[in-house]
């Protein structure tokens, strides 16, 4: 049986795996894992590594557009890494602040569920990216996802709020952590509002799709 050769210059799965933005994504995974191991005993080093991960998050999208290497794998990897990194830090905050554990659990549940449903709803509806949100669908989400400066700023403050709480848990950085958290609080609140809105929007998209399919089945019967 003769094998079918790919045309010269064709894009393969292996090519996509090694897209420049995806390589940046793998570096983000590595920095996240390192931060998990150092989080308990080395707050300054952990903050540095965590900060590098956040900066790389801003870089991968720029590289994807510059080199025309936008991919679904990259989009999913980016979202999963974001959620996993934040989840790891939130779990540690539950350990450091047990009396706030339920609050952190609720925030974590909202973060994961809203982003998963948002990505699933947009991709299943035929949209090429979860960041393609029309102004008519949601003005706030449109602003959040289409303005890279807004997206970066809000995500930065969201992560720095958790980072401030993390430093607040250590006596040597108590005051600094408190001020970082307070300064970041407005951006953190904005991010939680977008989480609620995108969860509601995703549910509406999925319910509308279900209703359309149900009506089509009813017509065919």
- CA atoms 33, 87, 170, 53: torsion sign: positive
SS (H, E, C) 194-209: HHHHHHHHHHHHHHHH
The tokens of 62 are what? 């720029």
Catalytic residue among 57, 60, 78, 82: 82
The residue among 108, 103, 55, 59 whose CA lies nearest residue 83 is 108
- CA atoms 96, 102, 103, 104: torsion sign: positive
Question: Is 210 one of the catalytic residues?
Answer: no
Are 193 and 158 in contact, with CB atoms under 8 Å apart? no
The residue among 31, 50, 162 whose CA lies nearest residue 96 is 162
> What is the DSSP secondary structure assignment for residue 98, as one 8-state letter?
G
Q: Name the E strands within the chain.
A: none
- CA atoms 45, 49, 52, 54: torsion sign: negative
What Rg value do the Cα atoms of the chain yield, rounded? 20
CA distance 160 to 172: 18
Give the active site residues. Answer: 82
């Amino acid at each position: 049986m003769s094998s079918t050769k790919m045309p010269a210059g064709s894009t393969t799965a292996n090519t996509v795996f090694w897209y420049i933005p995806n390589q940046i994504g793998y570096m983000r995974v590595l920095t996240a894992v390192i931060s998990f191991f150092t989080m308990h005993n080395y707050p300054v080093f952990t903050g540095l590594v965590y900060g590098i991960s956040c900066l790389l998050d801003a870089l991968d999208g720029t590289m994807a557009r510059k080199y025309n290497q936008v991919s679904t794998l990259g989009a999913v990897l980016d979202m999963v890494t974001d959620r996993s990194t934040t989840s790891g830090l939130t779990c540690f905050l539950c350990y450091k602040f047990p009396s706030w554990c339920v609050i952190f659990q609720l925030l974590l549940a909202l973060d994961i569920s809203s982003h998963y449903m948002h990505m699933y709803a947009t991709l299943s509806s035929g949209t090429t990216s979860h960041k393609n949100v029309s102004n008519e669908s949601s003005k706030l989400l449109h602003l959040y996802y289409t303005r890279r400066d807004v997206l970066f700023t809000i995500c930065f403050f969201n992560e720095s709020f958790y980072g401030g709480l993390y430093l607040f848990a250590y006596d040597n950085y108590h005051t600094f952590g408190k001020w970082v958290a307070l300064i970041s609080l407005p951006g953190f609140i904005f991010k939680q509002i977008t989480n609620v809105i995108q969860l509601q929007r995703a549910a509406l998209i999925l319910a509308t799709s279900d209703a359309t399919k149900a009506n089509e089945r009813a017509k065919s019967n």
